[in-house]
Structure 1
């Protein structure tokens, strides 16, 4: 059960980091109503596809964006068609591996952790999760 607890802490850390990024990006880019708007701004060239905002860099990719803190912590997120932030087990593992004290958890433990965090988290489509609204 300790492994699932570590995975649960990892998921909560990811969600907390994602919320902090959302807040910082909206302060830095006033025209941003939600984090997903970064895609449209980058595609229309109103902001660069990659850059620095405070203590983190960002790089827009495909359907999402990867944020990297100065200390190397990586938070990669995709955006659903409705603009909600979605993530999968791969993104959660990458986040865990990027922590100063790297945390390598199995997909099985992450799946159990995500399940234990419902209704805080919702499965948007098979294998993709978001913070419930």
Structure 2
């Protein structure tokens, strides 16, 4: 498979994993309207800054949160000022390296892949992406 195709699959897999985490967290924490609400709940001490919820261990950090599933797959995400989920090449590469068959792709391949996926992926600032609604 071509490197850019592998990178496309990685980006799409990350997006699917992020959507699955969003759904699982909202089921487990009914007061959660959007994934970004995890930050507010942790900062207000209504939930712990790190804990296990369902099949995921989460850890709140700075402007985002890291999730690790029971399968060992890691999804790290930051949140923009409007609460949208954003990610960069570093987060995509970490996700790829955590897969059962680790996938290490270059930033250039990820850039090409993300650009070819617009939409559903949108570049919100140089090197940072979001999933179009």
Give the alignment's TM-score, normalised by structure 2: 0.98
Q: Which runs of 5+ in 1 are unaligned?
A: none
- C-alpha deviations, 1:44-88, integer Å up to 9, x for none? 000000011111100000000000011210000000000000000
Alignment of 1:59-78 (within 5 A): 59-78=59-78
CA distance in 2, matches of 1:6, 1:122: 19
Give the alignment's TM-score, normalised by structure 1: 0.98
Give RMSD over aligned pairs. Answer: 0.8
Q: Which runs of 5+ in 2 are unaligned?
A: none
CA distance in 2, matches of 1:119, 1:98: 25
Equivalent position SS for 1:87: strand
CA distance in 2, matches of 1:111, 1:75: 18
Moved over 3 A (4+): none
CA distance in 1, matches of 2:54, 2:32: 16
